[in-house]
Amino acid sequence: KETPIVILNFKTYLESTGENALKLAKSSEMVAEETGVNIMVAPQYADIYRIAREVNIPVLAQHIDTIDAGGHTGSILPECVKEAGAVGTLINHSERRVELFEIDAAIKKADSLGLSTVVCTNNIETSSAAATLNPNFVAIEPPELIGSGIPVSKAEPEIVEKTVESIHNINPEVRVLCGAGISTGDDLKAAIDLGSEGVLLASGIILADDPKKALLDLVSKI
């Protein structure tokens, strides 16, 4: 079995902004090196460049806009996140939803630039739809559990299991992650046991008193 994947979404917490973002990325790198777990970080756009220069773990954007270069003030040009050092992007996070045609366009644009794609979804149906668009990953995150501290892998194991099954029937190439409320080693282990390849998480680590310790605990059971 492959090494589990842990994507730490920095969202817009002050604890993961600016200097704090860099510190958290460095802690993530240390834990990745110490444990061999594949940890990726998704900081805010303005922190991508500095983090990508200073750490050796994959950096993802939290979103890209499906625009072409030109006059789009205030937008996020995919080429720009790539030049800043991101190697992939989240798409359709529950806090940054886009329409189906935009998910498709974002995946195609990211593919053309060599950026990996992690499409976030809210239920089995949208996960199945996302799988047909051929992203690298689909991350199922029931919105009501996001930030709740109640782990999806324990509270709604069937949604993870059924998503894995449905996606693999539709497109076996797509790798499945899950997220929402994940914070402990048991939560991650449960996610892996349900057939996902890893987790997407935020508050359980970012808001912990000692995020590095929390990350070490997260990966301690696998």
Judged by CB under 6 A, does residue 202 bind ligand G3P?
Answer: yes
Which is the catalytic residue, given 33, 63, 79, 141? 141
* Residue 93 near residue 62 (C-beta atoms within 8 A): yes
# of chain residues touching ligand G3P (CB under 6 A): 14
Ordered strands of the 175-179 beta sheet? 38-42, 5-9, 198-201, 175-179, 137-140, 116-121, 88-91, 60-61
Among 203, 217, 218, 222, binds ligand G3P (CB under 6 A): 203
Smallest gap from Cβ 15 to ligand G3P, in A, equals 12
**Distance separating alpha carbons of residues 147 and 60, to the nearest angstrom:** 20
Annotated catalytic residue 72:
no
The residues in 165-184 that bind ligand G3P, with binding defined as CB under 6 A, are 179-182
Judged by CB under 6 A, does residue 188 bind ligand G3P?
Answer: no
Outline where DSSP puts E strands in 12-157: 38-42, 60-61, 88-91, 116-121, 137-140
Smallest gap from Cβ 169 to ligand G3P, in A, equals 25
Among 204, 211, 214, 217, binds ligand G3P (CB under 6 A): 204
**Distance separating alpha carbons of residues 159 and 19, to the nearest angstrom:** 37
Q: Which two tokens stand for residue 216?
A: 């070490």
The residues in 131-170 that bind ligand G3P, with binding defined as CB under 6 A, are 141, 146-147
Binding site for ligand G3P (CB under 6 A): 9, 93, 141, 146-147, 179-182, 200-204
- Which residues are catalytic, by number? 93, 141
